[in-house]
Amino acid sequence: MKEEWPIWRVWLTGKESFEVIISDWTFDDLVRANTVLDIQEAINEALTEEK
């Protein structure tokens, strides 16, 4: 499951369908998308801590 997590993480955001991820995305696309998700989470955490 650990190897599949990048796929599930992107799919669970609702940004793209599972079918499109499986058929059209490359591994590099998944890595980039997960990096963006990491950055978004860090920003949201920082903003929450400021309040």
What is the predicted pLDDT for the residue at 18?
92
Query: C-alpha distances in angstroms, 34 versus 16, 23, 28?
Result: 13, 18, 10
First to last CA, the chain: 36
Structurally, the chain folds into a number of domains equal to 1
Q: Which residue range is the domain that position 35 belongs to?
A: 5-50
Q: Which amino acid is at 21?
A: I
Q: Yes or no: say if 26 and 49 are a contact pair by the CB < 8 Å rule.
A: no
| Distance separating alpha carbons of residues 6 and 23, to the nearest angstrom | 15
User: Judging by beta carbons within 10 Å of its beta carbon (0-12, 13-18, 19+), is residue 10 exposed, middle or buried?
Assistant: buried
pLDDT tens-digit series, residues 1-51: 456 677 888 999 998 999 999 999 999 999 999 999 999 999 999 999 987
